[in-house]
Amino acid sequence: MLEEILANSSAMEREVIEDVISSVDSVEELKSRLDDILEHGCISGIVGSMIYYSDTIAFFERHKEEINNRLAELIENTGLNLCELFKNFDNYDPLCLDTYNQNLFAWYGYEDVCANLRDMIEEMC
């Protein structure tokens, strides 16, 4: 099942999926891990690879085009702006030139992939 998902995934999706599955041994553990991530968010420190700015900024830099595309789609679908979507968004840095907003967007990208993966697993099982 995961091989099929990975084969049809973007680079960011593959990175997140591989990170999440590295700490589980079964589909049930995977579902539980995804539920935990989605309930608590990366901000909680539950994702070891997304705690430090050095990690989140590197993730953002590797995947900023896809993250921006996902954000644009989210804004288009909801009609909300970035300040409404991210309560901690630094409105003085809308281009994400500073680490704070890059960090928020990296967490968003990681969590969005987890949400989509959880939905795919539910559909398959």
Residues of the chain with pLDDT under 50: 93
pLDDT at residue 100, as a whole number: 65
The string of pLDDT tens digits covering residues 55-64 is 999 999 999 9
Across the chain, what does the average pLDDT equal? 87
Q: Return the closest-CA partner of residue 106 out of 65, 52, 50.
A: 50
> CA–CA separation, 103 vs 43, rounded Å?
9
The string of pLDDT tens digits covering residues 86-107 is 666 655 545 555 666 788 899 9
- The residues near 79 (Cβ < 8 Å, ≥ 6 apart) are none
